[in-house]
Each structure stands twice: as C-alpha cells, then as structure tokens.
Amino acid sequence: MKEDYRKLPVAEKLSNEEEVVWINPKHVPFAKSSLDIHMADIEDAEMRLARFASFIMKCFPETCADNGLIESALTPIPKMQEALKEAYGADIPGQLFLKQDSHLAIAGSVKARGGIYEVLKHTEELAFEAGLLRPEDDYARLAEPECREFFSQYTIQVGSTGNLGLSIGISSAAIGYKVIVHMSADARQWKKDMLRAHGVIVKEYESDYSEAVKEGRRLSDADPKSYFVDDENSVNLFMGYAVAARRLKKQLEDREVMVDEEHPLFVYIPCGVGGAPGGVTFGMKEVWGDYVHCFFVEPVQAPAMLLGMVSGLHNDVCVQDIGLTGLTHADGLAVGRPSGFVGKVMEPLLSGEFTLADKWLYEYMRIFLDAEGIFLEPSACAAFAGPIKLLAREETRTYIKENGLEDKMDRATHIAWATGGSLVPDDIREEYKNTYL
Ligand SMILES: *Cc1c(COP(=O)(O)O)cnc(C)c1O
C-alpha cells in the first residue's frame, strides 16, 4: 500500500516540520539509469537558443554584451566559505562557488532559462506554421512590426508563485504576445506590480500554486489561440534549464577546475515544483555522470519534491496530505505538489535532499551579503544549507563514505545555485535584511 509512506521515519519527520537530510535510496550509477530523454534533446535546445540569439539581442539589448546568450557567472565565494565556518563550524573541504542565476538577464532568476526557452520554442513553431520564418533565416526579423502584429493575436498563460510569471510575462510581452499570469497567494506584490508595468494581465488567487496552475490551464485550454506554459509537466521548460550544464562545464574549464573521478562536484539547488533544479541536474548528470552529486533543498513547510520521491507517489501526493501548510517565506519554493514528470526523471539521478526552516533563509542571506556583498532573495539562500550540512550530518557523511569520496573531499568543488534576487526592489531588500524569524 502506497499509504504506508506515512510510517517511514523521514515522512514522520517531514510532517513534524523537522529539518531532514535524505539520501535517495533509488539513486543508481549513471550508466544504469535508463531515461527517455538524452543529451540530443539538450543539444536541440542549445541550437534553438543559438538560432534565436539575434532576436534575443533585438528584444533585450542587455544581452548584446553576451551575443544574445542568457547566461550567468560562476563566482568563487571564499569569504562565504570562511564565514560559514565561523558562524556554523561548517568546515567545507575544497572550493565553494556561487552560480549566479540570481543575475540572469531579463528575469533575474533561474526562470530566465526555462521560461524564456519555452516561449521562444512556441514562437518558432507559430512562425514556421505561418510561413513567417524558415530555419535558415536570421531570427531577428521576428522583431519587425508585422511579426509583432502577428504574435499579438496569440496569448501566453502561466501559473506562478512569482518568478516564472516574471520570466514568461516579461519575455512574452516583449515579443508582442498578450500575456496572462495566474499568481498564487504566495506571490509578492512587487512581482505583480512589475508585470503589470510590462502590460501583463495578472490574475490573483487566494489559493496556492497548484490551484493557480489549474485555473490557468483551464482558461488557456478554452482558448484556441492561447498557449499554456505548464510548470508541472513541461518538458520544454526542463530542457531550457538543462542547457545550463554544458555552459557550466566550460566555465569550470576556464577556471581550470577539474571534475572527474578524483575531483567530485557537489551541487545544491533550491527546489519548488522541480523543473529548474531537475533540468539543471539532468544536464549535469549527462555531462559528468557519477562525478557530480546533486542535492535539492526545500523549506520544511513545502518539501513537495522530497515527499513525492519518498512516497513514490510524485504528483499524487501533496504536503497538505501530511499536515503541512505549504506556506513559507521562500516564495519561489512555495509549492505543495511536485511535478510528476520531474520526480520520475530524478529517481535514479538525485543524490539527496535537505530541508530547512525559514529563519535560516534570512540568516544565510545576511551572512552572504556581509561576506561577499551580493544580494540574493530568500528562496535562493536555501542553497547554502547544502554545504553547511554536508559534513555536519551523519546521513551525508555516510553517503560520502559509501561513494568512496572521503579522501577526495579536499579536491571537491561545491556550487550553491543562487536561483534569484537581482530584480528585488531596494525597499523589499531592506525588509528582507531586517526580517528575523
Ligand atoms: C522557481 C524557483 C526555484 C525552483 O524552481 P522549480 O522549477 O519551481 O523547482 C528556486 N528558486 C527560485 C528563486 C525560484 O524562483
């Protein structure tokens, strides 16, 4: 009986809002994982983004410096590594980096990867069908008035806790679409205001994210000229996120950081519905196989992906089923029900998960800002729970031992995946800096 999951010790801890460290028992050597998606799918997404580069530069001049590539820096954060040792006694062996998706162009969060990719893919399909574009054309022509006029007949809709809405909303509006974003109760006011300033229609819901998605999907399905970006099931979003991995490989090579049998890579990514961390993880496993160890981090009140994986029920279970509210200060992670598609793909790939209480989001944010002078939104700061707990908790110490990594840890690389923050307005930053739970 699947209901038995409630009796598992980890499920009991989750329902008691305890912080847990979970090692995925279904994780297998990469060669033995059989997936329906492959490197070729990532390459297809990469090539599509390359075809769109001239158009991206036209619509978003801030991407010109990078030739229309939407990519973030990989930054060593030695002062944070030192600060974590001082604050928590976290002696992190090897080198700690930050992947600054918090500063991605256009959307200021990891959603600039998947969200914009899916909108572009849809745009390409519409333009091909209408004969506005051929694959060999310069895609910059799609920014011309007659193309914008064409796109304005179509609607893009999405359900969001905030950042996906910003990504889809800002990018779709710039292309010329009509956009409707269905925002859950967790969404912050400033995100709604910013979208409205871009001409996006924002519908607000009293209910949580799953309800906003459901209603958005229903309304979009009723309109033949409307396209719904389905965060809970979208393979396109997932592939847009997965593109990150090969670019990261190049960034590590440029810094002469090795990832191989003797040099393990640990990556810690905040998780909501699972698409962003799942896509990035899928890409990294394709690139590095067993040399990369991927961990997700979720809030104690919204461990949707963890509950789905622990129970094996994926999107047939939600955090409310074990008595949690799903309410968290990590608005980007405020998801009660995980993506079923992503959870299944992650089963053989994910190393494990950490959950953390909300108060740490603000504390890590302040420590990080002090140490490195970089602002991150609270959701993104969840990533730091990974390096802090890796050697402090027995579960992960056992994982290191069982994977033969003990004597390699001094040569390890750790990446905290900073998923958002650069668009947060100054007054909200001040509010965050002064929030103590
Ligand atoms: C959306 C988001 C995540 C997680 O992405 P999912 O695809 O929902 O798992 C993490 N951090 C921030 C800041 C986000 O906006």
Q: Residue 386's CB: how many other CB atoms inside 10 A?
A: 29
Kindly give the distance from the C-alpha atom of residue 428 to the centroid of ligand 1, in angstroms, as a whole number: 19
Kindly give the distance from the C-alpha atom of residue 331 to the centroid of ligand 1, in angstroms, as a whole number: 9
Kindly give the distance from the C-alpha atom of residue 270 to the centroid of ligand 1, in angstroms, as a whole number: 6
Kindly give the distance from the C-alpha atom of residue 93 to the centroid of ligand 1, in angstroms, as a whole number: 27
Question: What pLDDT score does 290 carry?
Answer: 98
| Cβ contacts of 318 within 8 Å, gap of 6 or more | 210, 304, 307, 326, 336, 337
Question: What pLDDT score does 1 carry?
Answer: 46
Question: What pLDDT score does 33 carry?
Answer: 86
Q: Residue 222's CB: how many other CB atoms inside 10 A?
A: 8
Q: Write the pLDDT tens digit of every residue in 8-36.
A: 999 999 999 999 999 999 999 998 888 88
Kindly give the distance from the C-alpha atom of residue 419 to the centroid of ligand 1, in angstroms, as a whole number: 7
Question: What pLDDT score does 91 carry?
Answer: 93
Q: Write the pLDDT tens digit of every residue in 229-261.
A: 999 899 999 999 999 999 999 999 999 999 999
Please name the residue whose Cα sits nearest to atom 1 of ligand 1. Answer: 332
Strands 413-418 and 95-100: parallel
116, 161, 163: residue to mutate for ligand 1 pocket, most atoms within 8 A of CB: 163
Q: Which residues have C-beta atoms less than 6 Å from ligand 1?
A: 109-111, 163, 270-277, 332-333, 335, 377, 379-380, 419-420
| Cβ contacts of 263 within 8 Å, gap of 6 or more | 257, 291, 408, 411, 412, 413
Low-confidence residues in the chain, pLDDT < 70 = 1-3
Question: What pLDDT score does 227 carry?
Answer: 98
Q: Is 136 exposed, middle or buried (0-12, 13-18, 19+ CB in 10 A)?
A: exposed
Question: What pLDDT score does 2 carry?
Answer: 61
Closest approach atom of ligand 1 to CA 237:
7
